[in-house]
Structure 1
Amino acid sequence: MRWLRDALWSEVMSGGFSGGLFPREADLMKSYGASRSTVREAIDLLRREGIVERIQGTGTLAVAHRNTMKLVEAHGFGDSVQRAMPGTASRVLAHEIVPMPRAAARRLACEPGEDALLIEYVGYQYGQILGLYSNYVRFPQAESVRTTPFRTHWYALLEKAGITIGETDFLIEVMAADQLLAGILEMEVGRPVLAMEQVIRDDAGDAFNYAVLRSRGDRMSVLSQAISPTFGIRKG
């Protein structure tokens, strides 16, 4: 039953069901070679997790969606970051000058306690909460970021501030949402959160931005793709 739940979960999150409407139980039984009781138990698990919902007279609907972003786009590169993150909006929780924390100072190669611009915000896509994001920006780059209106996503803000991204580093882990984070992200305590730390460097190679990123695991995933350097080379 758990394997079927995982298969259906993957289908839901990747948009595999047209219009979000689940197939009939009989169709799922045939497609997955499962018994009616197994199908019903798997769907009930998804319902309890908030992934699907039974609507009287309609059937079972997928009510969750996961945004999949290529890793190169998560870094701020790609053909168009704006096209990669459509429908984004931000609600700023903090926008102030604070002493640079030790963790941020270590990654930005500066002194703890020096002035830093903290911008903490909740990110949305099409009205759904994606995550909580905290950015520490060192001066002088912080000066232009500080006076730039922030409406959509972080990379758009940096672009409007006239800052070119030269390089970024990501540390990606998984954590469980504690009570405080769960309240902000409107999710259950203990649910998975995609936890990331990021360092952004400008086109001169100077680290200026340290970010702590917490995204809902049911609404965000990162896709990494790589091509072998020997792909397409015919061996003689």
Structure 2
Amino acid sequence: MPTTSRRTRSDAARQLADLLRRQVLADETLPCEEDLTVEFSATRNTVREALALLRDDGLIARLPGVGTVVVGHKYPHGLNRLAGLAEVLREHGEVTNDVRAADLVPAPAVVAHRLGVPERSEVVYLERLRRLDGVPLSLDLTYLLPEIGKPLLAHDLAGRDVFALIEETSGQRLGYADIDVEALNADAETAAVLDVQPGAALLRWERLTHFADGRPVDLEYIRLRGDRLTMRARLDRS
């Protein structure tokens, strides 16, 4: 027999906010409150609470005399293809990089282990603030094998994706990457760099990229603004 647990208005509002979020992210105009109550068989208070959740996420605004308008824009980033940020977002604007560091450094133990080099041997370290049409999007910390990274230092790191430069300078194709994704809150320093409030939601990637023959080449620690990107992929059950 079907059972119905006791649910609060906040439970219903959260459910409704999830249903409306895709429309908001697609920049679709939301119906008025009255139409939403009819479409979702919800009370007006539930609708208002759901819209407040979307407003608190920075996605919509309630303007006097206008109604609900979409103000937050998130850009889709696919997780089922290995590509640089400029490749992924080329339909949405121009990706540029503020190069904060580009130099040879001794490899920390964890980096040496992941890249398969002796501990404290030299690797190339890149730190870049990445922008989409001038708006801060991610902070990327990258370690590269010295024979791969050194040639990159003579190229346009401000305007080019590292992946494209690696293939261009090495003459080898990248093959695959192992990636871990987790959510975290922005510390004060990262928040200042990314132009968000301390404690704002970030996505943290740890990505180890390999050549087609399986050799590791590039280890990245990436912090992405949670209010600017959404992750998308198609998962097959095969």
Whether TM exceeds 0.5 here: the answer is yes
What amino acid sits opposite 2:129 in the alignment? V
User: Is 2:33 the partner of 1:25?
Assistant: yes
Q: Which residue of 2 aligns with 1:234?
A: none
Shift of 1:108: 0.5
Decide whether aligned partners of structure 1 residues 180 and 228 sit closer, same or farther in structure 2, where only a CA change above 3 A counts: same
| TM-score w.r.t. length of structure 1 | 0.82
Q: Which residue of 2 aligns with 1:233?
A: none
1:55·1:61 contact (CA, 8 Å) conserved in 2?
yes
- Which of 107, 112, 123 is 2:114 aligned to? 107
Distance (Å, rounded) in 2 between the aligned partners of 1:27 and 1:68: 28
Q: Which residue of 2 aligns with 1:90?
A: 97
Which secondary structure state, in structure 2, belongs to the residue aligned with residue 225 of structure 1?
Answer: coil
Q: Which residue of 2 aligns with 1:137?
A: 144
User: Is 2:66 the partner of 1:66?
Assistant: no
Q: Which residue of 2 aligns with 1:149?
A: 156
| TM-score w.r.t. length of structure 2 | 0.81
Larger CA deviation: 60-69 vs 150-159: 150-159
Shift of 1:93: 1.6
- Which of 193, 204, 218 is 1:209 aligned to? 218
Within-5 A mapping of 1:1-236: 1-13=13-25, 15=26, 17=28, 21-73=29-81, 75-76=82-83, 84-86=88-90, 87=93, 88-150=95-157, 151-162=159-170, 163-229=172-238
Distance (Å, rounded) in 1 between the aligned partners of 2:54 and 2:134: 22
Distance (Å, rounded) in 2 between the aligned partners of 1:99 and 1:165: 24
Decide whether aligned partners of structure 1 residues 97 and 103 sit closer, same or farther in structure 2, where only a CA change above 3 A counts: same
2:180·2:206 contact (CA, 8 Å) conserved in 1?
yes
Shift of 1:98: 1.7
Aligned CA RMSD, in angstroms, stands at 2.4
Which secondary structure state, in structure 2, belongs to the residue aligned with residue 181 of structure 1?
Answer: helix
What amino acid sits opposite 1:84 in the alignment? V
Shift of 1:47: 2.1
What amino acid sits opposite 2:232 in the alignment? L
What is the percent sequence identity of the aligned residues? Answer: 27
Which secondary structure state, in structure 2, belongs to the residue aligned with residue 140 of structure 1?
Answer: helix
Decide whether aligned partners of structure 1 residues 83 and 178 sit closer, same or farther in structure 2, where only a CA change above 3 A counts: closer
Aligned pair count reads 221
Decide whether aligned partners of structure 1 residues 46 and 33 sit closer, same or farther in structure 2, where only a CA change above 3 A counts: same
4+ aligned runs moved over 4 Å, structure 1: none
Which secondary structure state, in structure 1, belongs to the residue aligned with residue 16 of structure 2?
Answer: helix
Shift of 1:167: 2.5
What amino acid sits opposite 1:47 in the alignment? R
Distance (Å, rounded) in 1 between the aligned partners of 2:175 and 2:130: 23
Distance (Å, rounded) in 1 between the aligned partners of 2:140 and 2:87: 20
